[in-house]
Amino acid sequence: MKPRFSALFLCTLMIASVFAGCLGGEDDVDGCMDATANNYNADATVDDMSCTYDPTMTSVMESYAADTMAYDDAWSSLQSIRACAETGSNNPCEIVEMTIGDASTFDPHDAYDSASGDVIENVFDTLYRYEGDGSGNAIIVPRLATGHTISDDQLTYTFTLRDDVYFSNGDHMTAEDVVYSWERVNEMASPLSHVSWITEQNFNTSGLTMIDDTHFSVTLMQPYAGFISTIAYTVGAIVNKDLCEANRIVTADDPATADVDESSDDWCHGWMDEAPLGAGTGAYIVDSWTRETSIVLTPNWMYWEDGGFNINRFTSQIVTEASTRLLAFQDGEADFGSLNIEDEPEFCDNYEDGPNVVGKEGFVCTYRESFTITLSAMNVMPKALDAGEESNNTDANSSLVLNHDCDMDGTMDCNVMSQSAVRKAIAYAFDYDTARRDTYSGQLAPVYGPIPNGFLYDETQSQVFSYDLTIAEQTLEDAGFIKQYDCSSLTVAGAPTVVAEGDRDGDECRLPNILRIMANEGNDYRIAMAGQIAQSLGSIGVATDGDAKPWAEYLTMYYTSTFEIRFSGWAPDYLDPDNYWTPFAASHDAGGDAYGTNYHNAALDENLTAARVSTDDAERTQLYSNAFALWTEDPNMIIIGQGNGISVKRTDIVSAPWAAIGSAHWFDYDKLPVA
């Protein structure tokens, strides 16, 4: 008798390929069943593990981190994945800006001008940064840090860092780079810009401790509630330790020359000046920089933030002529044109009613109130170039202008600008209302001290200075600065000719030298204000000189103190009143003097230093009130006004929410394609 088997039993014994239909398998289809795969098979019923995928930013970076993909291959793959697609007629992947001033340096640890900062914020990154919240307010958000803790005594901050950040040359960023960067700020001490005061006020290099690759700590010298806000500024940017060290130039002292110290250390500033590839972890790299002409940024394809690039190229063209910038904006050659105020109504309706302004067809006009201060700094220790050194303008080859006898011993031992009476007279000689109303077309609001309106402790200030030439002249007269010099004999530093008392006709000059007034080319407002105060001072017997300087020369004169009066502005580094008071009026020894005025008032320093670290509201109010009273008797600045105005852009530009601090981050912008 033959054995009887069930159909199922037979299927288990036979070769599956022959009897595939035993379980209904003859209808199955092998294939890739993942709908996101390149080879997805909609008819497949059995996943045969054959799915293939296009590379993604995540997969490429995982391969690179695992050392299974070379840097060049990773860079190329990321470019193909993340690049903006040129699909419109309006160059939708490029933004062109026309601006009035070139950058000073791209080294984040010795840059303190807005033109430099605009580039630095895109090439480097910080642990935290300011962003707009969509309502006009600024908030601090994590960047390279994911968070931090603070010790019970409020002194030690311990940070946790992202582990997926790479410099643009492919080097992995770790806590070692962060500790090195902050050490570099303090040790290099930003010799040109003095921006290191922001970090030096809070910690010493010895307070920095690396814990592991993603953790480090910093111990402050005293509690400071605003510490996180200070490191959101570019001075807190992270640089590549290995590359910096490889390009650092250290010169040892020659023991054979005991009377001369030849030692020096540039902390790789010469290399960092133009931010070469690998210097930073930001969204862009410096493609080219032709000084006084243009700056071009292109993507850092290894940038850590998720998403593709909407802008593949950012070009900043330095154009000092307002008419050229206007024409370029009208024609669409430029997306942003640094428009003069008088040109803005061409693109806006309801312009006179600022908060309710609207853009004309093709444009967006927005009213904004800022914390930016327009001011003029007065240098109390001006220098003059030594003979033959005009082309090599540095601190080392310029000399103090000594033209006043401060201790009444018959020797010229100081400068007239060191006298508070001279600076008070200059403050009374400025026509504030004309500058705010006419020069700035009403887009400067009155402000009477360093703290902007709407800021904490702005109630500690009130109007003291106004345009009053009678007071200005009397102030000089009372201080002994009478009209006695032959104006035609005056120079910056030479000996003036004193007119015999019986020969004086009242047209003589009061001061023994010419005051140099600085403004920068392309900024028609500063040029106009410089001309206004020169005329006012001339009417009371104070001779002046000065013309608009190219931005690079303007910055050099600032850095080397070869000026008496300098028109400038201030946008906040961080949102705390100390960020105005200290850089404006504290001495260099107290972490201030960002404007190179060489100003030093010991009592003022004491109040500002105490206010900086105080956490008691009433105490801080009193300290700032004390500071204001001292400063108005011994001013070193003319505080002109607080900016509020109209921004104009094209409708195809989609920008990130605006914040009244920091620079534009082009990774957050989009330029909508136009068919």
521: domain CATH number?
A: 3.10.105.10
pLDDT tens-digit readout, 420-452: 999 999 999 999 999 999 999 889 999 999 999
Residues whose CB falls within 8 Å of the CB of residue 205, separated by 6 or more in sequence, listed in order:
182, 183, 186, 187
Does 640 share its domain with 655? no
Residues 377 and 350 both lie in one domain: no
- Is 147 part of any domain? yes
- Let me know whether 24 and 59 are in one domain: no
Q: What is the pLDDT of residue 11?
A: 40
CATH number of the domain that 347 lies in? 3.40.190.10
- Domain co-membership, 147 together with 76: no
The number of beta carbons lying within 10 Å of the beta carbon of residue 165 is: 20
| Residue with the two structure tokens 């001309």 | 531
pLDDT recorded at residue 262: 81
CA distance 5 to 302: 65
Q: What pLDDT was estimated at residue 14?
A: 39
Q: 89 lies in a domain?
A: no
The neighbouring-strand residues paired with 364 are 649
Q: How confident is the model over 23-34, as pLDDT tens digits?
A: 445 689 999 999
Instruction: For residues 665 and 573, state if they share a domain.
Output: no
The amino acid at 592: G
Q: Is the dihedral of CA 385, 390, 392, 394 positive or negative?
A: positive
CA distance 147 to 159: 6
The residues, ordered by sequence, that sit 6+ positions from 391 with a Cβ below 8 Å of its Cβ are none
Closest CA to 639 of 419, 468, 434, 466: 466
- Are 103 and 61 in the same domain? no
Residue 130 and residue 28 share a domain: no
Q: Is residue 34 part of a domain?
A: yes
The whole-number pLDDT of residue 21 equals 40
Q: In the chain, what is the straight-line distance between the N-terminal and C-terminal CA atoms, in Å?
A: 85
Instruction: Tell me the C-alpha distance between 610 and 219, whole Å.
Output: 19
**Structural tokens at position 340:** 């003069």
167 SS3 class: coil
* pLDDT tens-place string over residues 91-110: 999 999 999 989 999 999 99
Quick count: other Cβ atoms within 10 Å of Cβ 543?
Answer: 20
Strand ranges of the sheet holding 156-161, from the earlier edge strand across to the other edge: 145-150, 156-161, 215-219, 208-212
Q: State residue 7's pLDDT score.
A: 38
Is the pTM higher than 0.85? The answer reads: no
DSSP secondary structure code for residue 258 in this structure: T
Angle at 145 between CA 573 and CA 65, to 5 degrees: 130
- The helix/strand/coil state of 13 is helix
Residues 339 and 429 placed together within one structural domain of the fold? no
Answer yes or no: are the C-beta atoms of 237 and 165 closer than 8 Å. Answer: no
Residues 6+ apart with CB under 8 A from 620: 457, 611, 614
CA–CA gap between residue 303 and residue 297 (Å, rounded): 14
User: What does the pLDDT look like over 175-191, one tens digit per residue?
Assistant: 999 999 999 999 999 99
Q: Is 408 left (phi over 0), alpha (psi -120 to 50) or beta?
A: left
Residues 308, 195 share a domain: yes
Give one DSSP letter per residue of 366-413, joined into a string.
EEEEEEEEEEEEE-SS-EEEPTT-TTS--GGGEEE---B-TTSSSS--
**What mean pLDDT comes out for the span 582-594?**
91
- Chain centroid to Cα 600, Å, comes to 25
**What is the number of structural domains in the chain?**
4
**Side chain identity, residue 612:** R
Residue 1 inside a domain? The answer is no
The average pLDDT across 513-525 equals 94
Residues 409 and 555 in one domain: yes
Structural contact between residues 582 and 197, judged by C-beta atoms closer than 8 angstroms: yes
Placement of tokens 């997969």 in the chain: 59
The pLDDT value recorded for residue 134 is 86
In a domain, 88, yes or no: no
Tell me, yes or no, whether 27 and 113 share the same domain. Answer: no
Tokens 């040892």 found at: 252
Q: Which tokens go with 516?
A: 């140099």
Domain interval for residue 206: 94-254+264-362+651-671
Query: Looking at the structure, do residues 203 and 175 belong to the same domain, yes or no?
Result: yes
Lowest-confidence region among 19-33, 305-319, 386-400: 386-400
> Comparing C-alpha atoms, which of 471, 488, 473 is closest to residue 545?
488
Q: Is 425 helix (H, G, I), strand (E, B) or coil?
A: helix
Longest dimension (CA), the chain: 153
Closest-CA residue to 417 (of 406, 429, 409, 428): 406
Mean pLDDT of the chain: 91
